[in-house]
Structure 1
Amino acid sequence: MVSLHAQHPFSSKAGAGQAHLRLMATTDLHTHVYPYDYFADKPADTVGLARLATHIASIRAGAVNTMLVDDGDFLQGNPMGDYVAFERGVDKDNPHPIIRAMNQIGFDASTLGNHEFNYGLDFVLRSVAGAAFPILSANLVRTLGDTPLQDETVLPPYVILDRELIDGDGKGHPFRVGLIGFLPPQVMTWDRKNLEGRVCTRDIVEAAAAYVPRMRAEGADLVIALNHSGIGETDHVDGQENASLPLAAIEGVDIVLAGHQHMLFPGPVFDGIPGVDSARGTLNGKPAVMGGFWGSHLGVIDLLLERTDQGWTISDHESSLCPIARRNPDHTVTAVVKSDQRVLDAVAEDHAGTLSYIRRAVGRTKGPLHSYFALVADNPALQLVANAQLWYMRDMLKGSAYETLPVLSAAAPFKAGGLPGPDYFTDIPPGDLAIKHVADLYLYPNTIRAVRVTGAELKGWLERAAGIFNRIEPGAKDQPLIDLAFPSYNFDVIDGVDYQIDASQPSRFCPKGRLVNPGASRIRNLCYMGEPVHDEMEFIVATNNFRAGGGGGFPGASGNTIVFEGPDTNRDVIVRYIAEQGTVDPAADYNWRLAPLPGTSVLFETAPRASAFLGDLVQFDIRTLGQAANGFAQFRISF
């Protein structure tokens, strides 16, 4: 953790013609201003720009030269974002609350992320119009030119800010900082409905290679890439989603601020990747940082700059992270900074409006809805989502050419632990179901879609989802079941068919969706209405715009199989279904299960509270092993 109050060594080291600059970066805020979990409707010490603001104020007070930037994904991600988009609205006289908070803190610049577009392009443009700082995007384009320099970009591709740099002797020097922004080109797939025909994207590295020399020619002393993109392949691949490494290799780029992956850099998660120094915090030798998500960390890059005949150069650097909370040995969480009251006050009215929004009851549930075991057994919470999508889609397809085809429903557990930690699960008690509960069940404001697939594609879809499991050796004991590199939102469970998953077989796909074992088959006994599913059969699958448009790389869902595009979000569908039913009792129908492997046991981690629901699991023998050092509870499953 950066020492916020003591003088940094670069400040004491800097002499005449040398200067210490502290660059601060946020990323993936996802509308988290208050330290509040709107899904659980209670305060949360691990989130919130208001807490980060205290770090920022402390760093500014202790350093002569500072800058603050954001790396994108700020408009969407919790119920405050939904409340603003669907009810409150934004205009020039009523800025978005996250923008108002950022204005209060005093950001120097930001870029767009992919989730900015979940509410539509017009909403983005109205929202960013309220920013008192430039918001940049070099690869989001209205009209493509022959080269990136001839593109008509939606927002300014870059900005050069004139600053005064105070050196170690207290003398001021003119200093020009160039900032350029990028987002993943895949946004055109993920938000196809909102963007297709209106904008397009360029490859990140292609755009940077064109613009950075121009920025240098215009006098930029330092070029900082605000890259809403993670750390992935070392070598450049056209259309690369996580392009921070090849971006850092471009001559003229001094610093890369990464994001999108919701991870921490510097940090051990990126150990062993060529070109990455995960201890020092460099990408291809350039200083870099990635500050987690939801305001969990402030990324800080300290630069010792030296004036030479060629201009200012970086003579030394240090990358680090400032967390807003720590996890204690007893697995409790303690905030390490208080919220900045000025930031809380700036969005207090929106916070109150969000609380009213999330607390509206729309129906009731007879039983609990939780996601503690959603990765290992059929689950009532997912069953409710699947039931609502089936109810909606069957009605929508009446009278259409697809009315007679079997309708299935795909849903995935969005909150299932993983990187966000042991508190990141859905847990809704019996009783009233409010909007906050629906938002907890279905985390993203996706819109509903239907795709037409063959039996072969359906099986491939399930094979892709089954990649979440590690390969299990029959007869071996206590093997880790879940591949932690596989995000739970790609574990689609398809309702309307019955099947088993044989984890003893190799996965057909890698966690990122690349076909690695074409002949592999984990899906067994796939049946519809008691009859085996054949390759040439046809089905309609209700899903969302992200999946239908190709998100996750699932067979049968590549954007060209869509037969229905609904005007409603999946959340709205669930709300309407609950309201019509009045009271729901979404017991799991156990249409899928892990295939038995006699004499075999596996280990599975979930929240400690999951022990209260062990009686719901009837498919296998499961025992509690106690709490692990990471705060999760560990369970043994015996087949």
Structure 2
Amino acid sequence: MLATTDIHAELRDFDYARNRADPNKGLSRAGGLIAGLRRSAPASLLLDNGDFLFGRPFSELPDRGAAAVIESMIRLGYDAVNLGNHELDLGFDTLVGAVNGTELSVVSASFLGPDGAPVFPVGRIVERAIPVASDRRAVVRIGITGVLPPRCLGPSTALGAANIRLADPEEALLAAAAHLREQGAQIVVLLCHEGLSTEDGEDLPQRLAKSGEIDALVLGHTHETFPGPAWTGLPGVDPEAGTVHGIPAVMPGSWANQVGRIDLGLASDPVLGFRVVAHDVGLHAVNPPNADRPPNAPAVLTASQGAHAAMLRTYQEPVVNTDRSLFTFFAQLGYCPSTRMCAAAIARAVAQAVPDKTRGSLPIVGLAAPFMCGGYRGPGDYVEIRPGPISRGELRRMSPHSDLVIGIPGTGRDLRFWLERSMSAFHQILPGEHAVELIDAGFPPSDFDVPFGVQFTLDISSPAMCTSRGMATGEAPGRVQDLHIDGQPVTDDMPLIIATTTHRSGGGGRFPIPQTDAAVVTDVSIADALVDALAAGVYPATGRMFNFAPLPHTRAVFSTGPRAMAYIPDDARTRLKPLGVGRDGFLKMLLNLSAG
């Protein structure tokens, strides 16, 4: 059984925002890997666990690349696909129009219509002939179903507008499994669009695994991988064997960067016909570190050829001008014109969407992350835009995704914990330490949300309240101090509006989302918000977005791109001492934290 998840329309090993090849992703490469894995087994299934249809690669095309995605998956021979939260990015009716009438086999026990009946097939039974003796084969019937937990959707209006609701995932599984067994399924596979979590003990995937109704489990949504050592100590989870309460499970990353594999060994059963008696779980990377990359699958290259050519043309088009340089070289030091511009544009879009009588005097805090800010993608992966025309491709470098802007009512406490999640990017550094790396290399820049409209002090001598993957550590009191909006202290009970994106509200980055029914989902994408703000000449004030709390006699090593030398902020020159370019290609700078 082979599985992908969270492909997000990444059909090729190409990054349109950066205008270069990316060897670490792409369904075309995964397709080549799948072909090889299929040849190694006497029978196989190919499944996807949702969030396949929409993403950043083809967001500028009229159909967001949906036709190319579906055709690619059909040509690769997917046996069943589940639906994720991002399938609803353009609304429920758009989703239905995209998948209906195609040969793609959608399964979901979650979507219920006004009458309570399932909207999509709750499951599918696939038959495979397997060898049971040297000269004999038998047919095994595999039932496949899928669920989308409601909490993965966040405060979206996509379902409510269509009078559709999501079923309780545990109830949906029980009903779907019973239906599949009645139809003759001997093995039941669950596609669950949710990942493992270490926050609250046993979570939904563990409960589903204990249901007694499934024989294999595919997870997703969080873009993480399983099996792996990150899940050591989680109740009921064996991170080495790849099981959840004894059920073989796999979580194959995102963007088609991994293919998950679950091998099932079957034995005859007098009641069911077959039962699982052995299993082996593994992950296969499309860019393995010590092996050759798989070839591109011709079927995907052919199906995506038109969309690929259109995007190459589109990303070269100039769309707006800037009168100042926009870059991300010093984002983790609080200086980031690019990300601050994004946060300001998001806040502006929410302010325009929320009626004055609703908002009243509530402050709006914009939040955005420097997606291209070094990290594991290397020393060349930074935004650097000079004054003048900005192409659509450069705009995507500032904010690569096409999610919609959303305003979420919350409190000062919500904002503080949101920032604590971001500020977990820093290592804990105690007064008097020297030459300690400032940034946790395992923390993704895409989760480093910084605010527009807020000022605060950051005390990195305190422990982080979250891990790099967003799991709560239980540490207190936190790092974010002296939080102010326009000079006014932010108290825990102060009402405000958090301006962010549907990616965050849907759980992306594991940020603490305020629970509310009053969120305002705009029809404005981040890119459109940026174009509108830049065209209007609405630039945020320059300067730092946060200050470090002074740590006497303390210095830390800050790594950035070599081209940062041309953009060192004037008021940072006395605190930053260039050390040269290291073996990893990053420019090393010694940051004096004595004065904050």
Task: Map 1:2-41; keep pairs closer than 5 Å.
Answer: 23-41=1-19
Tell me what 1:374 maps to: 331
Q: Does 1:195 align with 2:159?
A: yes
| Aligned equivalents of 2:24, 2:510: Cα separation in 1 | 32
Structure 2 gaps of 5+ residues are: none
Aligned-residue Cα RMSD (Å) equals 3.6
| 2:84 is equivalent to residue 113 of structure 1 | yes
Q: Distance in 2 between matches of 1:244 and 1:632?
A: 40
For residues 200 and 457 of structure 2, the distance between their equivalents in structure 1, rounded to whole angstroms, comes to 38
Decide whether the 8 Å contact of 2:347 with 2:499 is kept in 1: yes
User: Could you say which residue in structure 1 is the equivalent of 2:576?
Assistant: 621
The percentage of counterpart residues that share the same residue type is: 29
Paired with 1:456 and 1:302, the residues of 2 have a C-alpha distance of: 47
Q: Aligned to 1:326, which of 269, 276, 288?
A: 288
Letter in 2 for 1:282: T
The reply on whether 1:427 has 2:388 as its aligned counterpart is no
2:34 counterpart letter in structure 1: I
The code of the aligned residue for 1:314 comes to V
| 1:524-563 pair list within 5 angstroms | 524-530=481-487, 532-533=489-490, 541-545=498-502, 557-560=514-517, 562=519
* One-letter amino acid of the structure 1 residue matched with residue 280 of structure 2: E
Q: How does 1:404-415 map to 2 (within 5 A)?
A: 406-415=363-372
CA distance in 2, matches of 1:138, 1:543: 30
Matched, 1:386 2:340: no
Q: Distance in 2 between matches of 1:142 and 1:634?
A: 57
Helix, strand or coil at the partner of 2:332:
coil
Q: How far did 1:475 drift?
A: 2.5
Unpaired runs of 5+ in structure 1?
1-22, 145-150, 329-333
Aligned residue for 1:83, secondary structure, equals coil
- Would you say 1:338 and 2:302 are equivalent positions? no
Q: In 1, are the aligned partners of 2:43 and 2:128 still within 8 Å (CA)? A: no
1:442 — aligned with what? 399
**Residue in 1 aligned with 2:151?**
186
* Partner SS, residue 314 of structure 1: strand
For residue 525 of structure 2, what is the aligned residue in structure 1? 569
Q: Distance in 2 between matches of 1:549 and 1:337?
A: 33
Q: Which residue of 2 aligns with 1:16?
A: none
Shift of 1:189: 1.6
With structure 1 as the length reference, what TM-score do the two structures score? Answer: 0.80
User: Structure 2 counterpart of 1:590, which letter?
Assistant: R
Q: Distance in 2 between matches of 1:236 and 1:42?
A: 42
Mapped to 1, the partners of 2:354 and 2:145 lie a distance apart of 46
480-489 or 520-529: bigger deviation = 480-489
| More divergent stretch after superposition (597-606 vs 302-311) | 597-606
Q: Matched residue of 2:251: which SS?
A: strand
CA 609–279 in structure 1, closer or farther in 2 if over 3 Å, else same: farther
Counterpart residue number, 1:248: 209
Q: How has the CA–CA distance of structure 1 residues 467 and 316 changed in structure 2, closer, same or farther, with 3 Å as cutoff?
A: same
Q: Is the 8 A contact 1:456 1:535 kept in 2?
A: yes
Q: Report the 3-state secondary structure (helix = DSSP H, G, I; strand = E; otherwise coil) of the residue aligned with 1:45.
A: coil
Contact kept, 8 Å, 1:370 with 1:426, in 2: the verdict is yes
1:89-168 map, 5 Å = 96-143=67-114, 151-168=116-133
1:359-402 deviation per Cα after TM superposition (whole angstroms, max 9, x unaligned)? 22112345553434423323111121133235545556686564
| Corresponding residue SS for 2:113 | strand
More displaced stretch, 469-478 vs 116-125: 469-478
Match of 1:266 among 219, 223, 227: 227
Match of 2:266 in 1: 305
One-letter code aligned to 1:180: T
- Equivalent residue number for residue 8 of structure 1: none
Q: Does 1:278 align with 2:239?
A: yes
Contact 1:381 1:586 in 2 (8 A): no
Q: 1:128 to 1:622 in 2, by over 3 A?
A: farther
Q: 1:49 and 2:10 equivalent?
A: no
Query: How far apart, CA to CA, are the structure 1 residues paired with 2:36 and 2:263?
Result: 15
**Letter of the 1:615 counterpart:** I
Asked if 2 retains the 8 angstrom alpha-carbon contact of 1:36 and 1:44, the reply is yes
Shift of 1:603: 5.1
Task: State the alpha-carbon separation in 2 of the partners of residues 280 and 234 from structure 1.
Answer: 22
8 Å contact from structure 2 (residues 219, 250) kept in 1: yes
What's the counterpart of residue 60 of structure 2?
83
Q: Report the secondary structure of 2:45's partner residue.
A: strand
CA distance in 1, matches of 2:393, 2:265: 47
> Which residue, 257, 267, 270 being the options, matches 1:296?
257
Which of 261, 274, 279 matches 1:317?
Answer: 279
* Counterpart-to-counterpart distance in 1, 2:297 and 2:530: 36
Read off the aligned partner of 1:295 and give its amino acid letter. A
- Output the CA distance in 1 between the equivalents of 2:525 and 2:490: 30
State the shift of 1:594 in Å: 2.0
- CA deviation map 1:117-169 (0-9, x unaligned): 1221112112222542321112233358xxxxxx4223122112233333342
